[in-house]
Structure 1
């Protein structure tokens, strides 16, 4: 089957200010790196780190980022959450637990809708993520405008930081470019088989089965033929797939394979 490998321009068309990601006191470089990789997957590049335990730069983070070097190279390090969010107009604090701080609570899809709307107007947005072991404290959550929590199993709510970043980044990307996919199969290069082609396939298959006495007892032939044709109809075969199946049937019939021409002027 021929595939159109070109990238749909709509998949790159994100004409608004993307959010930043703030990691509060991450312990492991690997978690920073995998968070950076998740960001790069969905077009986010502004990664901010507050007091990383093992300092910065961190080679383990770069290795775990899996070639998201543009995110790692642009990392900003801050001494406090207050400094990390100082230039932002709207901050979402991510947490899996109920807090004493009274704030609107959003799912990641709702937060993404708000983030894209504000980003389109030029407001800088941030997603704040807590420590691996115990997340954000109440004072840090108080700095945020809203809380984001994921629809996880409440009896097992803890996510790896990179997983949480990925979910939020994914939801933002879906809203930012209306869910445009990088590619789809091109129907012009993969046209559906015509009914005439399908009938020829049916007849070819049925003739080959007749030759080996497949239809037994003979009186059941009409119902078996209908079943076979229905199966093939459900497959929604393309023109190339029909040609492939007919080639398979011909090979099973023992027909000689057509020689491939090496001369450009020969058929």
Structure 2
């Protein structure tokens, strides 16, 4: 059974190759989507090639709903997006995948049923398909090579859906079993280095000593040090002093 997570239905209109249907299913499930609908698959249904390509996402194919027309596939929906790379002779809002999936998330949260149309591999959606949609989704691709593979287009849109759910972290640091050093720990490290550098005669000439120490303190505070880093830097300095004393 499909998950209960509210989400848009992804509708593949007249898909041609089973491999591309399988790739689309895999891309959907990568990002937590499992509402696949198909209209008139060229090579019939079910399709062994689709199952092989879907890998661990075969459940989506087993549960896919089959329709004989675009209108029937989205008949229960209140808002429909159509993906296209071509200029149309129809008046429609045109959104980026990011804006479209943000809008879709807001509509679904308000209780609407939403679908996204993806056209067949050879030529994409026809104007008769587009006429069913409320808005278009266009990817800012190279105008000299605008064609996207079906699986690619599904994956890109599914990723933007995932982002709209707040499930994507733009930046993080893997801490590898440690924590960030505290201000006190960095201060003690700075004290250690100042002490040893003073003994080595580093702060010369005397009238520049305070500015040099200030620059060093600023250096330590700018560095994103972990507790492991601090312990290592203490250890390096202790070993250098021991080596000097042995010499």
Shorter-chain TM-score: what band?
Answer: 0.7 to 0.9
> Could you say which residue in structure 1 is the equivalent of 2:11?
22
* Aligned-residue offset at 1:35: 1.6
* Aligned-residue offset at 1:218: 6.4
> Could you say which residue in structure 2 is the equivalent of 1:246?
234
* Aligned-residue offset at 1:115: 1.7
> Could you say which residue in structure 2 is the equivalent of 1:235?
223
Matches of 2:154 and 2:48, distance apart in 1: 20
1:53 corresponds, among 19, 29, 42, to 42
CA RMSD, aligned part only? 3.7
- Aligned residue-pair number: 238
1:154 corresponds, among 130, 143, 150, to 143
- Specify which structure has the higher proportion of helix: 2
List per-residue Cα deviations over 1:141-183 (Å, max 9, x = no partner). Answer: 11212211122232332222222222322333333x3456499
Contact 1:17 1:122 in 2 (8 A): no
Matches of 2:69 and 2:148, distance apart in 1: 23
Normalising by structure 1, report the TM-score. Answer: 0.70
Q: Secondary structure at the match of 1:128?
A: strand
Normalising by structure 2, report the TM-score. Answer: 0.75
Gaps of 5+ in 2: none
Distance 1:139 1:195, change over 3 A: closer
Gaps of 5+ in 1: 1-13, 256-267
Q: Is 2:103 the counterpart of 1:110?
A: no
> Could you say which residue in structure 2 is the equivalent of 1:82?
71
Using CA pairs under 8 Å that are at least 6 residues apart, name the structure with larger relative contact order, 1 or 2.
Answer: 1
Distance 1:232 1:146, change over 3 A: same
